[in-house]
Amino acid sequence: MTTLLVLNITPELEEDLVDYLLSSAEVSGFTSYPVHGHGEQHNLSIAEQVSGRRKRLQFEILLAEEQAKNLIAGLTDQVGRGIHYWQLPVIASGRV
């Protein structure tokens, strides 16, 4: 089954994650964009506490479920900690 793996990271991890994804044989491509995290207030800087949000980056990768497991397994060693992820089943994908 195809899955959408979503990775949500701190900006400091961006280059390491991009390098990891580009070097992975399991990843044929991905999308990334800036997002803001809202919620957990601990470990926020003063500016983040005032604005009520934290800068994050989000990556979306379409791949087989087993490949997603392998990719997740290497995140800590290859990229770092503080990565939030989730997977969603993909009903269909393609190009028109």
The three-state secondary structure class of 46 is: helix
Q: Compute φ and ψ for 92, nearest 5 degrees.
A: -155, 155
* Sign for the pseudo-dihedral over CA of 46, 49, 51, 55: positive
Instruction: Report pTM.
Output: 0.87
15-69 pLDDT, tens digit per residue, is: 999 999 999 999 999 999 999 887 666 676 666 666 667 889 999 999 999 999 9
CATH topology of domain 2-84: Alpha-Beta Plaits (3.30.70)
Instruction: Give the C-alpha separation, 91 to 23, whole Å.
Output: 27
4-26 pLDDT, tens digit per residue, is: 999 999 999 999 999 999 999 99
Domain chopping of the chain, boundaries: 2-84
